[in-house]
Structure 1
Amino acid sequence: MKFVLEVTVDDGQPAKDRASELGRILRYWGGNLHHYALEPGDGSAVYDSAYREVGGWRIVATDGTA
C-alpha cells in the first residue's frame, strides 16, 4: 500500500511561516494516526491552524486503486 499526503501551502506567506504551518499539520496528523486502520481506501481531509481544508491524505493499494 501507499500513503499519499497532499497539502497546499500559501505562497503568499514567508517560507518560515509555511514551514511552521506544514510542521503543525504533520504533527497533528501523526498524533491521530492511531485512529485509522491504514487500509486502502482510508483517508481524511487535512486542515490548517485556521481550520481551513488545505489538502488530504489517503491510503491506496500499490496498484494505485483506492
Structure 2
Amino acid sequence: MIQFEKVSLTDLIVIVALSLGFVVATYNGEKEIAGTLGGGLLGYARGTVKTAPQEGAKNG
C-alpha cells in the first residue's frame, strides 16, 4: 500500500501561492516574473524535500 508523508500547512500554502502566481504571470505574458516564480517554486519544493526528516535518521 502506498503511504504519503504529511505536508505542513505552511508548505502547502506557499506552494499553492507560488503556483498560482506562476500561472497568472504566464497567462499575462510576463516571462521574467514567471521565470522567477518558477525558480522560487522549484527551489522551495526542493528545500522542503531535503530538510524533511528521514525515517531511519539518527538524532544527535
Larger strand proportion, structure 1 or 2?
Answer: 1
Larger helix proportion, structure 1 or 2?
Answer: 2
* Larger RCO of the pair (alpha carbons < 8 Å, separation 6+): 1
TM-score, normalised to structure 1, is 0.38
* Rg larger in structure: 2
TM-score, normalised to structure 2, is 0.41
